[in-house]
Chains A and B, each alone.
Chain A
Amino acid sequence: DVKVTQSSRYLVKRTGEKVFLECVQDMDHENMFWYRQDPGLGLRLIYFSYDVKMKEKGDIPEGYSVSREKKERFSLILESASTNQTSMYLCASSPGPDPTYGYTFGSGTRLTVV
Protein backbone atom coordinates (compact mmCIF):
# COMPACT_ATOMS: atom_id res chain seq x y z
CA ASP A 1 0.00 0.00 0.00
CA VAL A 2 1.09 3.53 -0.72
CA LYS A 3 1.98 5.38 2.37
CA VAL A 4 1.89 9.13 2.68
CA THR A 5 3.42 10.35 5.91
CA GLN A 6 3.00 13.80 7.38
CA SER A 7 5.58 14.73 9.95
CA SER A 8 3.28 16.11 12.64
CA ARG A 9 -0.25 15.21 13.68
CA TYR A 10 -0.79 18.33 15.78
CA LEU A 11 1.13 21.58 15.73
CA VAL A 12 0.76 24.84 17.64
CA LYS A 13 2.63 27.88 16.36
CA ARG A 14 2.68 31.57 17.15
CA THR A 15 1.60 34.33 14.79
CA GLY A 16 4.50 35.42 12.61
CA GLU A 17 6.46 32.17 12.90
CA LYS A 18 7.72 30.39 9.81
CA VAL A 19 6.14 26.96 9.71
CA PHE A 20 7.24 23.89 7.77
CA LEU A 21 4.87 21.00 7.10
CA GLU A 22 6.57 17.94 5.70
CA CYS A 23 5.08 15.18 3.57
CA VAL A 24 6.81 12.04 2.34
CA GLN A 25 5.42 9.30 0.07
CA ASP A 26 7.06 5.94 -0.46
CA MET A 27 5.69 4.74 -3.80
CA ASP A 28 7.55 6.85 -6.34
CA HIS A 29 4.46 8.90 -7.18
CA GLU A 30 4.87 11.73 -9.65
CA ASN A 31 2.19 14.02 -8.27
CA MET A 32 1.89 15.55 -4.84
CA PHE A 33 -0.65 17.98 -3.44
CA TRP A 34 -1.29 20.14 -0.42
CA TYR A 35 -4.86 20.85 0.70
CA ARG A 36 -6.39 22.55 3.66
CA GLN A 37 -9.74 21.46 5.03
CA ASP A 38 -12.04 23.73 6.98
CA PRO A 39 -15.59 23.15 8.23
CA GLY A 40 -18.13 24.21 5.63
CA LEU A 41 -15.45 24.86 2.99
CA GLY A 42 -14.29 21.33 2.22
CA LEU A 43 -10.86 20.60 0.79
CA ARG A 44 -9.15 23.47 -0.96
CA LEU A 45 -6.01 23.03 -3.04
CA ILE A 46 -3.07 25.16 -1.97
CA TYR A 47 -0.23 23.97 -4.20
CA PHE A 48 0.67 20.93 -6.24
CA SER A 49 3.66 19.45 -7.98
CA TYR A 50 3.97 17.10 -10.94
CA ASP A 51 7.72 16.64 -10.72
CA VAL A 52 10.84 17.43 -8.76
CA LYS A 53 11.48 21.17 -8.49
CA MET A 54 8.18 21.85 -10.17
CA LYS A 55 5.28 23.59 -8.42
CA GLU A 56 1.97 25.05 -9.43
CA LYS A 57 -0.43 27.28 -7.51
CA GLY A 58 -3.75 25.84 -6.53
CA ASP A 59 -6.87 27.74 -5.57
CA ILE A 60 -5.59 29.40 -2.39
CA PRO A 61 -1.78 29.82 -2.56
CA GLU A 62 -1.59 33.19 -0.78
CA GLY A 63 0.54 33.03 2.34
CA TYR A 64 2.06 29.67 1.40
CA SER A 65 5.00 28.37 -0.56
CA VAL A 66 6.22 24.85 -1.31
CA SER A 67 9.40 22.96 -2.00
CA ARG A 68 9.99 19.72 -3.85
CA GLU A 69 13.70 19.00 -3.94
CA LYS A 70 13.24 15.23 -4.00
CA LYS A 71 10.51 13.19 -5.64
CA GLU A 72 9.29 11.65 -2.42
CA ARG A 73 9.10 14.83 -0.35
CA PHE A 74 6.80 17.83 -0.70
CA SER A 75 7.02 20.56 1.90
CA LEU A 76 4.48 23.27 2.63
CA ILE A 77 5.83 26.50 4.10
CA LEU A 78 3.87 29.19 5.89
CA GLU A 79 6.17 32.16 5.56
CA SER A 80 4.61 34.11 8.43
CA ALA A 81 1.85 32.17 10.15
CA SER A 82 -1.43 33.94 10.81
CA THR A 83 -4.47 32.90 12.80
CA ASN A 84 -6.53 32.44 9.62
CA GLN A 85 -4.16 29.65 8.66
CA THR A 86 -5.39 27.55 11.56
CA SER A 87 -6.69 24.49 9.76
CA MET A 88 -6.27 20.82 8.96
CA TYR A 89 -3.58 20.37 6.30
CA LEU A 90 -3.68 17.28 4.12
CA CYS A 91 -0.97 16.07 1.78
CA ALA A 92 -1.83 13.68 -1.05
CA SER A 93 -0.03 11.87 -3.84
CA SER A 94 -1.01 10.11 -7.05
CA PRO A 95 0.90 8.00 -9.58
CA GLY A 96 0.75 10.18 -12.68
CA PRO A 97 -1.21 12.73 -14.68
CA ASP A 98 -4.28 10.51 -14.97
CA PRO A 99 -6.01 10.54 -11.56
CA THR A 100 -8.01 7.43 -12.39
CA TYR A 101 -6.54 5.69 -9.38
CA GLY A 102 -7.44 8.53 -7.06
CA TYR A 103 -5.29 10.21 -4.48
CA THR A 104 -3.75 8.76 -1.35
CA PHE A 105 -3.81 11.12 1.58
CA GLY A 106 -1.61 11.48 4.61
CA SER A 107 -3.26 11.46 8.02
CA GLY A 108 -3.20 15.24 8.21
CA THR A 109 -1.62 17.93 10.35
CA ARG A 110 -3.92 19.96 12.54
CA LEU A 111 -2.25 23.35 12.80
CA THR A 112 -3.28 25.94 15.35
CA VAL A 113 -1.81 29.44 15.08
CA VAL A 114 -2.14 31.48 18.26
Chain B
Amino acid sequence: RKEVEQDPGPFNVPEGATVAFNCTYSNSASQSFFWYRQDCRKEPKLLMSVYSSGNEDGRFTAQLNRASQYISLLIRDSKLSDSATYLCVVNAGNMLTFGGGTRLMVKP
Protein backbone atom coordinates (compact mmCIF):
# COMPACT_ATOMS: atom_id res chain seq x y z
CA ARG B 1 0.00 0.00 0.00
CA LYS B 2 1.32 3.44 -0.90
CA GLU B 3 1.98 5.80 1.99
CA VAL B 4 -0.05 8.57 0.39
CA GLU B 5 -2.78 7.71 -2.07
CA GLN B 6 -4.71 9.93 -4.41
CA ASP B 7 -7.13 9.39 -7.26
CA PRO B 8 -5.04 10.32 -10.32
CA GLY B 9 -8.08 11.68 -12.20
CA PRO B 10 -8.35 13.56 -14.43
CA PHE B 11 -11.22 15.51 -12.98
CA ASN B 12 -12.83 17.44 -15.84
CA VAL B 13 -15.03 20.25 -14.57
CA PRO B 14 -16.61 23.37 -16.12
CA GLU B 15 -15.57 26.84 -15.07
CA GLY B 16 -17.36 27.93 -11.92
CA ALA B 17 -17.81 24.40 -10.60
CA THR B 18 -16.87 23.22 -7.15
CA VAL B 19 -14.51 20.25 -7.06
CA ALA B 20 -13.07 18.23 -4.20
CA PHE B 21 -10.10 15.91 -3.97
CA ASN B 22 -9.36 13.42 -1.23
CA CYS B 23 -6.14 11.85 -0.17
CA THR B 24 -5.47 9.04 2.32
CA TYR B 25 -2.27 8.40 4.22
CA SER B 26 -1.12 5.26 5.96
CA ASN B 27 1.20 6.51 8.71
CA SER B 28 -0.84 7.42 11.78
CA ALA B 29 2.20 9.25 13.20
CA SER B 30 2.09 11.82 10.39
CA GLN B 31 2.36 15.31 11.79
CA SER B 32 1.99 17.86 9.03
CA PHE B 33 0.02 17.94 5.84
CA PHE B 34 0.16 20.03 2.70
CA TRP B 35 -1.28 20.49 -0.74
CA TYR B 36 1.12 21.32 -3.54
CA ARG B 37 0.21 22.39 -7.03
CA GLN B 38 2.19 21.31 -10.08
CA ASP B 39 1.63 22.78 -13.51
CA CYS B 40 2.50 20.77 -16.59
CA ARG B 41 6.29 20.41 -16.94
CA LYS B 42 6.89 22.68 -13.97
CA GLU B 43 8.04 22.11 -10.41
CA PRO B 44 5.63 21.54 -7.50
CA LYS B 45 4.78 24.65 -5.50
CA LEU B 46 3.26 24.84 -2.04
CA LEU B 47 -0.44 25.66 -2.29
CA MET B 48 -1.40 25.49 1.35
CA SER B 49 -0.75 23.74 4.61
CA VAL B 50 -3.54 21.70 6.16
CA TYR B 51 -4.34 22.32 9.80
CA SER B 52 -6.32 20.13 12.18
CA SER B 53 -9.08 22.70 12.44
CA GLY B 54 -9.32 23.06 8.68
CA ASN B 55 -8.27 26.17 6.85
CA GLU B 56 -9.33 28.34 3.98
CA ASP B 57 -7.41 30.46 1.51
CA GLY B 58 -9.72 32.29 -0.85
CA ARG B 59 -11.49 29.71 -2.99
CA PHE B 60 -9.48 26.84 -1.51
CA THR B 61 -10.44 24.93 1.64
CA ALA B 62 -8.35 22.15 3.16
CA GLN B 63 -9.60 19.69 5.75
CA LEU B 64 -7.87 17.04 7.82
CA ASN B 65 -9.49 13.99 9.37
CA ARG B 66 -6.92 12.31 11.59
CA ALA B 67 -9.24 9.54 12.74
CA SER B 68 -9.84 8.38 9.18
CA GLN B 69 -6.41 9.48 7.97
CA TYR B 70 -7.55 11.53 5.04
CA ILE B 71 -7.06 15.04 3.76
CA SER B 72 -9.29 16.94 1.40
CA LEU B 73 -9.01 19.96 -0.85
CA LEU B 74 -12.09 21.84 -2.02
CA ILE B 75 -11.90 24.36 -4.83
CA ARG B 76 -14.90 26.66 -5.29
CA ASP B 77 -15.72 28.66 -8.40
CA SER B 78 -13.08 26.87 -10.50
CA LYS B 79 -11.03 28.98 -12.91
CA LEU B 80 -9.29 27.86 -16.08
CA SER B 81 -6.03 28.71 -14.32
CA ASP B 82 -6.76 26.10 -11.65
CA SER B 83 -5.96 23.39 -14.20
CA ALA B 84 -2.98 21.56 -12.75
CA THR B 85 -2.00 18.48 -10.79
CA TYR B 86 -2.59 18.69 -7.05
CA LEU B 87 -0.20 16.75 -4.84
CA CYS B 88 -1.13 15.63 -1.36
CA VAL B 89 1.92 15.72 0.91
CA VAL B 90 2.40 14.25 4.36
CA ASN B 91 5.17 14.58 6.91
CA ALA B 92 6.01 11.76 9.33
CA GLY B 93 9.36 12.55 10.86
CA ASN B 94 11.54 15.04 9.10
CA MET B 95 10.67 14.36 5.49
CA LEU B 96 7.76 14.84 3.21
CA THR B 97 6.08 12.00 1.36
CA PHE B 98 4.24 12.93 -1.82
CA GLY B 99 1.14 11.39 -3.29
CA GLY B 100 1.01 10.70 -7.00
CA GLY B 101 -1.20 13.71 -7.63
CA THR B 102 -4.71 14.37 -8.89
CA ARG B 103 -5.04 16.05 -12.25
CA LEU B 104 -7.66 18.76 -12.60
CA MET B 105 -8.79 20.15 -15.93
CA VAL B 106 -11.15 23.11 -15.89
CA LYS B 107 -13.00 23.62 -19.17
CA PRO B 108 -14.58 26.83 -20.49
- Give the Cβ gap from A71 to chain B, nearest Cβ, in Å: 17
A104 CA to B44 CA, complexed, in Å: 8
A42 CA to B87 CA, complexed, in Å: 9
- Give the Cβ gap from B22 to chain A, nearest Cβ, in Å: 16
* Stretch in B10-18, B67-75, B76-84, B92-100 touching the partner: B92-100
Per DSSP, are chain B's interface residues mostly helix, strand or loop, or mixed?
Answer: strand
Q: Are B95 and A48 in contact (CB under 8 A)?
A: yes
Q: Are A42 and B45 in contact (CB under 8 A)?
A: no
Interface positions of A from 11 to 46, Cβ below 8 Å from B: 31, 33, 35, 40-43, 45
Q: Number of B residues whose C-beta is below 8 Å from A?
A: 20
Q: Are A42 and B94 in contact (CB under 8 A)?
A: no
Interface positions of B from 6 to 58, Cβ below 8 Å from A: 8, 32, 34, 36, 42-46, 49
B91 at interface (Cβ–Cβ under 8 A)?
Answer: yes
Partner of A99, one of B44, B45, B87, B94: B94
A102 CA to B33 CA, complexed, in Å: 9
Residues of A near B34 (CB, < 8 A) are: 102
In this complex, what residue of B is CB-closest to A102?
B46
- Give the Cβ gap from B63 to chain A, nearest Cβ, in Å: 18
Given A41-B100, A42-B100, A42-B101, the answer on whether A99 and B43 have CB atoms closer than 8 Å is no
Q: 10 A-B Cβ contacts within 8 A? A: A31-B94, A43-B87, A43-B98, A45-B95, A48-B95, A98-B94, A102-B46, A103-B44, A105-B43, A108-B42
